[in-house]
Amino acid sequence: MITFSSLLGNFIMPTQPVLAFLRDHVFLNIQRIASLRRWLSEMQVKPQPTYRAGLRFAGRYSGQLLPQPVVCTSTGQRFPLDQVLGNHFCIFRLWDEDGAATRPGNNALWSRLNAHHIYLCPTQAALKRARKLSTDAGTTYIWDGSGQLPRLLQGDPQMVMVVRPDRHIMTTYPTSQWARVEKRIARYFGQNDPITP
């Protein structure tokens, strides 16, 4: 990290006029390429923190920091994802109009953990439909225009992603493994019988 900071400092604040001229032209050209501009403005240059041990379970992206895009809520307002999540465990799924988006199997476990259920809608139109069809007051529907969050779920409505209150991904798993994963989570929190409230 020290080497990275030193190299970045040398690039941003060169002492030689020729290097300063090159830097200015590099940054001007980067502004023309949307993906590079976003990569720099969101500081994706810097390595993201990742947990390799602790409260994490097997799964793709497990231990990684959750991206923080600006999302659109079902009320039509735009907020940074962090404001929508609150200080809770969060369970993410893709909203699927055809396959009745149901909550993960063990509601007693998630209730004890005060988990926040969040459905990612693929489009703004789907977000409006989800709000009209929703009967569950404890569920939040959002749309991520950047596509970062749906990508974590591999675009599959059968995938579930559990995020810790510190915004690190605890696990991702298919709904076919709900019982097994929830049993492990319940054991971790000292709840031998996760079904009993």
| Concatenated DSSP letters of 116-145 | EEEEEESSHHHHHHHHHH---TTEEEEE-T
Higher pLDDT, 119 or 6: 119
Cβ within 8 Å of residue 167, ≥6 positions away:
65, 66, 68, 82, 85
What burial class does residue 12 get, using C-beta atoms within 10 Å of its C-beta: 0-12 exposed, 13-18 middle, 19+ buried?
exposed
Task: Label residue 54 by pLDDT band (50, 70, 90).
Answer: low
- Answer whether residue 193 shows pLDDT above 70: no
Give pLDDT tens digits for 100-153.
455 555 567 777 888 888 888 888 888 888 777 766 667 888 888 888 888 888
- Answer whether residue 27 shows pLDDT above 50: yes
Domain with CATH 3.40.30.10 in the chain: 70-188
**Amino acid present at 186:** A
What are all long-range contacts of 74-77, with beta carbons under 8 Å and residues at least 24 apart? 74/127, 74/128, 74/130, 74/131, 74/134, 74/140, 74/141, 74/142
**How confident is the model at residue 42, as a pLDDT?**
64
- Count of CB atoms within 10 A of residue 63's CB? 19
101 and 131 in contact (C-beta within 8 Å)?
no
- Of 30-39, 91-100, 129-138, 180-189, the range with the highest mean pLDDT is 180-189
Does the structure show a pLDDT above 50 at 185? Answer: yes
User: What is the chain's mean pLDDT, rounded?
Assistant: 77
Is 80 exceeded by the pLDDT of residue 171? Answer: yes
Q: Kindly report which listed range (29-43, 70-84, 115-129, 158-172) carries the lowest average pLDDT score.
A: 29-43
Predicted confidence at residue 194, as pLDDT, reads 42
Domain 70-188 fold is: Glutaredoxin (3.40.30)
